[in-house]
Amino acid sequence: MNVITLLTDFGDFYPGVMKGVILRICPNAKIVDISHSVEPQNVYQGAFLLYHSYRFFPNAVHVAVVDPGVGSERKALVIECKNHIFIGPDNGILYPSAVEDGIKRIWIIDEERTSRITGELSATFHGRDVFAPASAYAVLGKIEEVAKPYEGEIQSIDLFDYKIEGETIECRVIFIDRFGNAVTNVKAEDLDDAKGFYVNGTYVPMVKTYSDVVVGEPLALIGSFGTLELSVRNGSFAEEFNVRSGIFRMRVVV
């Protein structure tokens, strides 16, 4: 296990420093960036993107840091699972992926030990001083040198907490991609009978591909996440319908 993936809301600069820390401890690590463009403090989005990316790697260490509670008393976790290791703050971001892979053991990172490696423990950059060192030690098979076993509860997140009541769907727009597509958390299997949706009074047909509507028209389809996406062909659904991530309601047509 020498692959380490990174998923953060850090943007530029900060992930590069994390890589430097990792490589100083474990020069043979292979580091892969999943994304550093998670919306700031959007833990749900981070959990969703981790959940839909980790399984495409061989046995790997996955570091996911979207951490509004950085510097507080929240725990820093290493979760050993059947095939992967997940590292990040105890705010639910790791939970859906770890549960799916099968949790075997949970560790609490000793921040005093990891910070000795970087020479400091910042109140704002635990990606560098806590999580990056822990990931390198996990790759080396020495996590017990910087963490202690933990048998208590950890924070959970339900990624698929949508409700369908009659003609109304209350769900989450979890992710707006660079094309302006609104990725929701509604699973495909709950939309077998849906012919379309009304969004802000506009009918949005349920189709199989973008080419099923003319350029500039809205559409709904099941995207690569296996969930409902709302789009505009060759346009931005998010801009045209003023949609942002968060709770979202629409009417379904069957």
Contact of 51 with 96, CB cutoff 8 Å: yes
- What is the pTM assigned to this prediction? 0.95
Which string of DSSP letters, residue by residue, matches 170-229?
EEEEEEE-TT--EEEEEEGGGGTT--EEEETTEEEEB-SSGGGS-TT-EEEEE-TTSEEE
Domains 3-150 and 163-253 share a fold: no
pLDDT value at position 13?
96
Q: Where are the domains of the chain?
A: 3-150, 163-253
Whether residue 118 contacts residue 130, with contact meaning beta carbons closer than 8 Å, is answered with no
Quick: pLDDT tens for 92-129: 999 999 999 999 999 999 999 999 999 999 999 999 99
CATH class of 163-253: mainly beta
| pLDDT tens-digit series, residues 216-250 | 999 999 999 999 999 999 999 999 999 999 999 99
pLDDT digits (tens, 9 = 90+) for 125-146: 999 999 999 999 999 999 999 9
CATH 3.10.20.600 fits domain 3-150: no
Q: Residue 207 pLDDT > 90, yes or no?
A: yes
